[in-house]
Amino acid sequence: MFPSHRNFKIVLLGLSLAHLLGFMIGQITNSLGIRGYLYSDGSPVGADFINLWSSARMVLAGRWGEIYVPDAFMAYQLDFIGSPIGHRVWAYPPTTLLFSWPFGLLGFYPALLAWSVLGLAVLWYGARRFGFDGLEIAIILTSPATVLCVYGGQSGSLFTGLMLIALAAGRVSGGGAGLAASLLTMKPQSGFLLPLLWLFQKRWRAIAVAAVGGLSLALASLMIFGSAAWLDYAGKTLPELSLLEKTGHGLFTLMIPSTFMAVRILTGDGDLAVIIHGIAAVLVGIVLIVRLRAVLDPMRRAAMVLIATVLMTPYMHNYDLALLLCAALLIARRPGNSKFGPLGLNGLVVMAWGLPQLVIGLNAVGLPISPLLILPLLFLA
């Protein structure tokens, strides 16, 4: 660890707090104009949380058969909001309905508060169990990714926390890690590399618990909500999402730091973007497998898995990038990285911290180089 490492973390925490303050100031005008469920600009308060709350209310009303029919889902929202709020789907599998419905018992704003607190609590617990120190946890909890996740009503903090619990080798039992992984099946793009890591670590109990837990969730959702929910999810919602990602336009294209979105922005060809991203993901996967065989340190392995997850997932959004920040904080701890110079290494950590905002500007000006900025971190790990 560099002698100045603690000072650097204090500076990074200061940057986080300054960003948080600036973000809050920037939202004052919009927030003062809230009417019902909408900001003054017509966007929903809590952004995508409106989708979770809608799915919860529909479950309680016995209308789960409409959740994965995009037109019916948007019609339900239009009915209680009173004005259109853009293209909306519930993008998560039917297993999530087992956990989302309690939020429908609350009014919209109490439910949004409960959801935000839950995400932050799981992120804090996961970071603590993983072994981050107090300063690092404070940085993670106040980072741009976490702020965007809370503002956007997103699940990034919740699933980053679960990922950290699953990665906490030696601090969480195989059963606890496996349970966290089974919950990650509700957002598989966050935890899909865990089985690979656990094969190298020979954590058979964690693999077994994750498999049984994930299958149990799927069976429970099938028994309660029926096969129609799964068929509509696979046959209607997922194709709708795929089409949106490949051909749609809007703010979401600026929020994705993947090779897929970089190629789509540069060429306008979604099909080509899928192919190029697939090739890049395979190459990253090969590097990961080779290095997981050679590296035994659990912290370095965890950092590699977190970075590879970000690089290999085509639809990773900026509010999910606390995963990348956690990896960068681990890399900054390593004395062996001093050969790169503290200034260069700390600069990469700051990049990982600020990428949730930086990617928006880079993509907006037609310079989608985020994957190239992330790649050095994989080799540093």
DSSP state letter for 64:
G
* pLDDT digits 0-9 by tens, 281-324: 999 999 999 999 999 888 999 999 999 999 999 989 999 999 99
CA 26/CA 215 separation, integer angstroms: 44
Q: Count of CB atoms within 10 A of residue 344's CB?
A: 12
Residue 341 Ramachandran class (φ > 0 left, ψ -120 to 50 alpha, else beta): left
Q: What is the mean pLDDT of the chain?
A: 90
CA 285 to chain centre: 19
**In the predicted structure, residue 338 carries a pLDDT above the cut 70:** no
The amino acid present at 361, given as its one-letter code, is G
pLDDT at position 49, please? 93
CA 109/CA 174 separation, integer angstroms: 37
Nearest CA to 56 among 85, 80, 34?
A: 80
**In the predicted structure, residue 36 carries a pLDDT above the cut 90:** no
* pLDDT digits 0-9 by tens, 66-102: 999 999 999 998 888 888 888 888 999 999 999 999 9
**In the predicted structure, residue 336 carries a pLDDT above the cut 80:** no
CA 361/CA 356 separation, integer angstroms: 10
CA 273/CA 137 separation, integer angstroms: 36
Reported as half-sphere exposure (CB side, CA atoms, 13 A), residue 111 has a value of: 23
* pLDDT digits 0-9 by tens, 369-379: 999 999 999 98
**Residue 172 φ/ψ, nearest 5 degrees:** -125, 135
* pLDDT digits 0-9 by tens, 139-195: 999 999 999 999 989 999 999 999 999 998 655 566 788 899 999 999 988 899 999
Confidence of residue 28 (pLDDT cuts 50, 70, 90): confident
Helix (H) or strand (E) holding 206: helix 204-232
Alpha helices in 90-203 (DSSP H): 97-100, 108-130, 134-142, 144-151, 156-167, 174-184, 188-191, 194-201
Please work out, in degrees rounded to the nearest 5, the angle formed at the alpha carbon of residue 28 by the alpha carbons of 25 and 33: 170
pLDDT at position 169, please? 66
> What is the C-alpha end-to-end distance of the chain, expressed in Å?
14
- The pTM of the whole model exceeds 0.85: yes
Tokens of 95: 């297993």
Helix (H) or strand (E) holding 344: helix 342-364
Confirm if 185 and 167 have CB atoms less than 8 A apart. no
